Amino acid sequence: MRNTDALWIDAYQNRCFESGHIHWLRGSFIKAEHVMRVPITCRKEEIMKKALVLALLMLFVGADSLQAQTVLKLAETHPKGYPTELADEYFAQLVTERSGGKLKVEVYPGNQLGEEKAAIEQVQLGAIAFTRVSSGPMAEFNKALGAFSLPYIFDSGDHMWSFLSSPDGQKLLDGLSASRFIGLCYYDPGARSFYSFKPIEKLEDLKGLKIRVIQNTINMELVQALGASATPMPYGQVFSSLQTHVIDAAENNFPSYLTANHYQVAKYYLVDAHQRVPEVLVMSKVVFDGLPKADQDLIRQAARDSVAKQRELWSAFEKEAEAKVKADGCIVTYVKDLTPFQNAVKPVFAAHPEYAEVLKDIAKARTAK
Ligand code: GTR
CATH of residue 116? 3.40.190.170
For residue 1, being part of any structural domain is answered with no
Q: Are residues 154 and 182 in the same domain?
A: yes
Q: Are residues 197 and 254 in the same domain?
A: yes
Is the CB of 253 inside a 6 Å radius of any atom of ligand 1?
yes
Q: Are residues 54 and 43 in the same domain?
A: yes
**Ligand 1 pocket: which of 74, 82, 135, 214 to mutate (most atoms <8 Å of CB)?**
214
**Ligand 1 pocket: which of 74, 77, 120, 274 to mutate (most atoms <8 Å of CB)?**
77
Is the CB of 116 inside a 6 Å radius of any atom of ligand 1?
yes
251: CA distance to ligand 1 center in Å?
A: 10
The total number of structural domains in the chain stands at 3
For residue 50, being part of any structural domain is answered with yes
Last residue of a domain, one of 66, 87, 105: 66
Instruction: Give the number of the atom of ligand 1 that is nearest the alpha carbon of residue 132.
Output: 9
Q: Are residues 11 and 34 in the same domain?
A: yes
Give the pLDDT confidence score for residue 178 in this predicted structure: 98
d(CA 286, CA 10): 51
Q: What share of the chain is helix, strand, coil (3-state, %, to 5)?
A: 55, 15, 25
Angle between helices 167-174 and 356-367 (to 10 degrees): 140
Q: Are residues 80 and 151 in the same domain?
A: yes
Total residue count of the chain as it appears in this document: 369
For residue 54, being part of any structural domain is answered with yes
Q: Are residues 183 and 217 in the same domain?
A: no
For residue 49, being part of any structural domain is answered with yes
Q: Give every residue of the chain whose pLDDT is below 50, as ranges.
A: 1-42, 47, 53-65
User: Are 60 and 34 within 8 A, CB to CB?
Assistant: no
pTM: 0.83
For residue 23, being part of any structural domain is answered with yes
Q: Are residues 185 and 207 in the same domain?
A: no
Q: Are residues 242 and 93 in the same domain?
A: no
Give the pLDDT confidence score for residue 68 in this predicted structure: 85
Give the pLDDT confidence score for residue 367 in this predicted structure: 79
Give the pLDDT confidence score for residue 221 in this predicted structure: 98
Residue nearest to atom 5 of ligand 1 (CA): 235
Domain range for residue 47?
6-66
Q: Are residues 92 and 239 in the same domain?
A: no
For residue 260, being part of any structural domain is answered with yes
For residue 337, being part of any structural domain is answered with yes
342: CA distance to ligand 1 center in Å?
A: 23
Q: Are residues 98 and 111 in the same domain?
A: yes
Give the pLDDT confidence score for residue 66 in this predicted structure: 53
Give the pLDDT confidence score for residue 202 in this predicted structure: 97
d(CA 31, CA 115): 72
Q: Are residues 175 and 289 in the same domain?
A: yes
Q: Are residues 160 and 308 in the same domain?
A: yes
134: CA distance to ligand 1 center in Å?
A: 6
For residue 78, being part of any structural domain is answered with yes
